Amino acid sequence: MTELEAKIRTEAARLLSEGLVDVVVAFRKEDAPLRPQPAFFTNVEDLENLVYNGLCANNLANYLTRFPQETRIGMLVRGCENRSVNALVVEKQHSREKLTLIGIPCTGIIDWRKVVALTGEDILAYEDSAHTLTVRARHQTFALPRQELLHSSCLRCVHPNPLSADILLGEMLPEGDPALIRERVESFEALTRAERTAYFKQEAERCIRCYACREACPMCYCEECFVDHNTPRWTESGTTPAGTHAWHIIRAFHQTGRCTSCGACERACPMDIQMTYLTDKLGKDMWDSYQFAAGMDDQTQPPFASFTLDDKKHFQVGGKQS
Amino acid sequence: MKYILPKHELNALLERWSAEYAVLAPQKAGAYSEFLPFTAPSELCLEEPHNTRYPPKALFFPQSEAILKYKQNLGQLESIEAVPQKRVIFGIRPCDAKAVTLLDTVFAEGDNQDPFWLARRAETLLIGLGCNEPGATCFCTSTESGPFHTDGLDALLTDLGGEYLIELLSERAVGLFGGLTPANPTQQESVQNLQQAAEQALPKAFELDGLKDKLDRVFDQDVWAQLSESCLGCGICTFLCPTCFCFDLVDEAQRDTRVRNWDTCMFRVYSLEASAHNPRPTRKERTRQRLMHKYSYWWEHAGKLGCTGCGRCVRYCPVGLDIRAMLRKASAYESEALHAN
């Protein structure tokens, strides 16, 4: 057990035993190698199964909408999870008073596929430390530089620290460089229209419409998704180009001003489809047009969800231009 | 009979087949491998410890397939003919080949004679490649299969380093290979040792004996809520599964086409009825359905287990759910909780 894991267990045990929360949402020891599972802890004894390391890959804020509004939830949050929680609170998906956020400054999520590509699947044990992931495989032990294993969204992370945690465990980290995410979007913008189309098609057309991206996303909580609606049906049903294009375009633009760039969609995708180039582009547009970034607090409505008489109407003939 | 094929002769063989057949083999597709028309030996992925990410069932039962054309206003129907394709599927793993035979019980038995399935099955040869080192997420030996099982195969290849040992299993395969050198006793013995070692290296994932009865007995128990609490409700486990076969029929009215798409019991809308009632309202009932179907209902419907232990659902579950552990937990629950009372 690491020092941080011990601290998390202690806090979780305190919250549960003092009756401050009904459930603690965190991670449980894995069954399959490298894959700790999201878990709901309701009793102190079960906390011996709680784990925390860089392979805890899911955005736990995704589980917020599973619980009734009155449930008092203790939740482990890293930078992106805290921002997702904020965005959900803004959208009134849970009341902030019912949440106890256990914050952890995040050193980045390790992409298990990058690990397995180097070590093979037969992993007996591993240890995640500050700079190195040590993996004991069946035939060999590997000491891998952590930075090279991080998920691509984590490499571009701007806010690794939880912004509004109630309890903070671990040392605050320096902020990330906002230029990294911007440069990636700009390199996509710089492509010709034909190149952008080709890239979009190459990614979207591998889609098997399993909707893991949707289900892993904290912000995709609609009772009925547009693709599941059938009176009328909004998109073609199958894995045809028309069907997959529609899914990827509409999924992305429903995230405008809401996506916190956590990358959970790409981590869940079984076909390695890139999706954050679209949502990060929308994030950049929101910043450039409205100086708004999703999840920075739990009060401010996203620009497209609010209305004021001063709104820009530059898309409207005779509308206000700035 | 068992024969030897030096690895350096594989390319010529695949090229020879290509003259008469569409040859499909696991080839590189980004970071993973996929059954694609054979292009070049450098593109082949035969060394990986396990199978392709996307299941080869799609080669017989595509994820989306047009099955009927119609003219809505005129009431005219135009059937789409199933076209037989002469194909060789090379390098399929034993778990995936066995899965095809399980799907025969759905699409090609009794009254169920699916013309699209039958047409593709009739003209396709399955040439398997055994697994010298099954992956950590593989569990075929726990599911009545194994890394060198031959169910559904026309021939099985075993990798001996510099050459393949080939076991011919059908008349058609004899014609396909032809003129090979018989394996000598030393080679036969080393294959036997290798195959045994691979089988033994796989630990038993769960006790299959009596599992169906145990699952049946915990059908209405809370254990399913615990097992499914972190499930996202996505379709990865079922879409990547080589034996899942559920489909939905959709009329794509703007294209005048009736389409058959894969469907999955893990989706809320799968069991949603027109009245808005849903007999499987939460992930608990849907997770239970997935496991019970494979480990209980298949026995009832087909007298067979509906899982071949390929491990894809374990490997690619975005929340790390592992069907082996889920079965162990359900089984333990039956032994402990139910019998305690």
What is the number of structural domains in chain A?
2
Q: What percent of chain A has pLDDT over 90?
A: 90
End-to-end CA distance of chain B: 57
Q: Is the pLDDT of residue B332 over 80?
A: yes
End-to-end CA distance of chain A: 55
Q: What is the pLDDT at residue B83?
A: 83
Distance CA A88, CA A294 (A): 10
Q: Tell which residue, A159, A258, A249, A248, has the closest CA to residue A218.
A: A258
Q: Which candidate from B50, B53, B137 shows the least CB-CB separation from A32?
A: B137
Based on the fold, state whether residues A129 and A78 are members of the same structural domain: no
Residue A74, helix vs strand vs coil? strand
* Distance of residue A321 Cα from the nearest chain B Cα, in angstroms: 40
SS3 for A86-135 is: HHHHHCCCCCHHHEEEEECCCCCCECHHHHHHHHCCCEEEEEECCCEEEE
Based on the fold, state whether residues A99 and A78 are members of the same structural domain: yes
The token duo for B53 is 């990410």
Q: Tell which residue, A81, A16, A93, has the closest CA to residue A50.
A: A16
* Confidence category of residue B254, pLDDT binned at 50, 70, 90: confident
In a domain, residue A12? The reply is: yes
Query: What residues of A are in contact with residue B316 (Cβ under 8 Å)?
Result: 270
Q: What is the pLDDT at residue A314?
A: 74
Label residue B213 exposed, middle or buried (CB < 10 Å: 0-12, 13-18, 19+). exposed
For residue range B271-310, what is the model confidence (pLDDT) as tens digits? Answer: 999 999 999 999 999 999 999 999 999 999 999 999 999 9
Q: What is the pLDDT at residue B85?
A: 82
Q: What is the pLDDT at residue B341?
A: 56
Query: What residues of B are in contact with residue A214 (Cβ under 8 Å)?
Result: 234
Is A181 in contact with A158 (CB distance < 8 Å)? yes
Would the CB atoms of A32 and B315 count as touching at under 8 Å? yes
Q: Which candidate from B31, B232, B325 shows the least CB-CB separation from A215?
A: B232
* Distance of residue B237 Cα from the nearest chain A Cα, in angstroms: 9
Would the CB atoms of B135 and A270 count as touching at under 8 Å? no
Q: Is the pLDDT of residue A320 over 70?
A: no
Would the CB atoms of B136 and A239 count as touching at under 8 Å? no
Based on the fold, state whether residues A36 and A127 are members of the same structural domain: no
Angle at B122 between CA B118 and CA B124, to 5 degrees: 120
Where b means 16+ CB within 10 Å and e means fewer, B141-160 reads bbbebbbbbbbbbbbbbbbb
B328 membership: H or E segment, kind and range? helix B323-333
Query: What residues of A are in contact with residue B50 (Cβ under 8 Å)?
Result: 121
Q: What is the pLDDT at residue A319?
A: 63
Is A9 in contact with A41 (CB distance < 8 Å)? no
Q: Which candidate from B50, B230, B322 shows the least CB-CB separation from A38?
A: B230
Which residue in chain B has the smallest CA separation from A57?
Answer: B319
Distances (CA, A) of B308 to A268, B95, B227, B305: 24, 5, 21, 8
Distance CA B16, CA B23 (A): 10
In a domain, residue A84? The reply is: yes
Residues of B with CB under 8 A from a CB of A: 30-32, 49-50, 53-54, 63-64, 133, 135-137, 229-230, 232-236, 239-240, 248, 250, 252, 254-255, 259, 261, 264, 267-269, 314-322, 324-325
Domain residues for the domain of A127 are 112-149
Q: Is the pLDDT of residue A322 over 60?
A: no
CA-based torsion, A184, A272, B237, A135: positive or negative: negative
Which residue in chain B has the smallest CA separation from A213?
Answer: B234
Would the CB atoms of B64 and A237 count as touching at under 8 Å? yes
Which residue in chain A has the smallest CA separation from B274?
Answer: A230
In a domain, residue A319? The reply is: no
The token duo for B330 is 């359900």
Q: What is the pLDDT at residue A153?
A: 97
Based on the fold, state whether residues A201 and A259 are members of the same structural domain: yes
Based on the fold, state whether residues A129 and A273 are members of the same structural domain: no
* Confidence category of residue B73, pLDDT binned at 50, 70, 90: low
Q: Which candidate from A36, A40, A270 shows the least CB-CB separation from B53?
A: A270
Residues of A with CB under 8 A from a CB of B: 28, 30-33, 35-40, 57-58, 62-63, 113, 117, 120-123, 208-212, 214-216, 228, 236-240, 243, 267-268, 270-272
Which residue in chain B has the smallest CA separation from A210?
Answer: B235
* Confidence category of residue B3, pLDDT binned at 50, 70, 90: very high
B257 membership: H or E segment, kind and range? strand B257-262
In a domain, residue A320? The reply is: no
Q: Tell which residue, A188, A154, A181, A155, has the closest CA to residue A262.
A: A154
* Distance of residue B169 Cα from the nearest chain A Cα, in angstroms: 31
* Confidence category of residue A65, pLDDT binned at 50, 70, 90: very high
Distance CA B52, CA B56 (A): 8
Q: What is the pLDDT at residue A249?
A: 97
Query: What residues of A are in contact with residue B30 (Cβ under 8 Å)?
Result: 272
In a domain, residue A94? The reply is: yes
Which position has the higher pLDDT, A290 or A232?
A290
Which residue in chain A has the smallest CA separation from B34?
Answer: A271
Q: What is the DSSP string of A136-147?
A: EESS-EEEEEGG
Listed in order, strand segments (DSSP E) in B21-100 are: 22-29, 32-37, 64-71, 76-79, 87-92
Q: How many residues does chain A have?
A: 322
Would the CB atoms of A237 and B248 count as touching at under 8 Å? yes
* Distance of residue B231 Cα from the nearest chain A Cα, in angstroms: 9
Q: What is the CA radius of gyration of chain B?
A: 22
In a domain, residue A205? The reply is: yes
Angle at A126 between CA A122 and CA A127, to 5 degrees: 170
Which residue in chain A has the smallest CA separation from B252?
Answer: A236
In a domain, residue A217? The reply is: yes
Is B130 in contact with B156 (CB distance < 8 Å)? yes
Which residue in chain B has the smallest CA separation from A137?
Answer: B136
Q: Tell which residue, A236, A217, A191, A195, has the closest CA to residue A275.
A: A217
Distance CA A167, CA A12 (A): 11
Amino acid in the structure at residue A56: C
Q: What is the pLDDT at residue A216?
A: 98
* Distance of residue A270 Cα from the nearest chain B Cα, in angstroms: 6
Q: Which candidate from B236, B314, B324 shows the least CB-CB separation from A270?
A: B236
Residue B102, helix vs strand vs coil? helix
Based on the fold, state whether residues A225 and A117 are members of the same structural domain: no
Would the CB atoms of B320 and A37 count as touching at under 8 Å? yes
For residue range B131-141, what is the model confidence (pLDDT) as tens digits? Answer: 999 989 999 99
Which residue in chain A has the smallest CA separation from B238?
Answer: A210
Q: Are strands A132-137 and A141-145 parallel, antiparallel or unpaired?
A: antiparallel
Q: What is the pLDDT at residue A317?
A: 74
Of A131, A149, A167, the domain-final residue: A149
Mean of the per-residue pLDDT values of chain B: 94
Based on the fold, state whether residues A229 and A89 are members of the same structural domain: yes
Is B36 in contact with B29 (CB distance < 8 Å)? yes
Based on the fold, state whether residues A226 and A90 are members of the same structural domain: yes
Which residue in chain B has the smallest CA separation from A220?
Answer: B232
Q: How many residues does chain B have?
A: 341
Q: Is the pLDDT of residue A159 over 80?
A: yes
What are the CB-based long-range contacts (under 8 Å, 24+) for B131-134?
B131/B49, B131/B50, B131/B93, B131/B94, B131/B198, B132/B158, B132/B159, B132/B194, B132/B198, B133/A122, B133/B49, B133/B198, B133/B201, B134/B49, B134/B50, B134/B198, B134/B201, B134/B202
Based on the fold, state whether residues A131 and A194 are members of the same structural domain: no
Q: What is the pLDDT at residue B164?
A: 97
* Distance of residue A38 Cα from the nearest chain B Cα, in angstroms: 6
Q: What percent of chain A has pLDDT over 70?
A: 98
Q: What is the pLDDT at residue A59?
A: 98
Based on the fold, state whether residues A162 and A140 are members of the same structural domain: no
Distance CA A144, CA B119 (A): 50
For residue range B42-72, what is the model confidence (pLDDT) as tens digits? Answer: 899 998 767 999 999 999 999 999 999 988 6
Would the CB atoms of A32 and B317 count as touching at under 8 Å? yes
Residue A83, helix vs strand vs coil? helix
Lowest mean pLDDT of A183-197, A300-314, B161-175, B227-241, name the range.
A300-314
Based on the fold, state whether residues A135 and A19 are members of the same structural domain: no
Distance CA B338, CA B88 (A): 50
Angle at B8 between CA B2 and CA B11, to 5 degrees: 95
- Overall average pLDDT of the B173-195 stretch: 93
The token duo for B124 is 């396709």
Amino acid in the structure at residue B79: S
Would the CB atoms of A58 and B318 count as touching at under 8 Å? yes
Q: What is the DSSP string of A242-303?
A: HHHHHHHHHHHHTTTTT-----HHHHH-TT----HHHHHHHHHHHHHHH---TTSSSSPPPG
B249 membership: H or E segment, kind and range? strand B247-252
Based on the fold, state whether residues A117 and A73 are members of the same structural domain: no
Query: What residues of A are in contact with residue B136 (Cβ under 8 Å)?
Result: 32-33, 121-123
Q: What is the DSSP string of A175-221?
A: PP-HHHHHHHHHHHHTS-HHHHHHHHHHHHTT-----HHHHH-TT--
Q: What is the pLDDT at residue B23?
A: 98
Would the CB atoms of B234 and A228 count as touching at under 8 Å? no
- Overall average pLDDT of the A63-68 stretch: 97
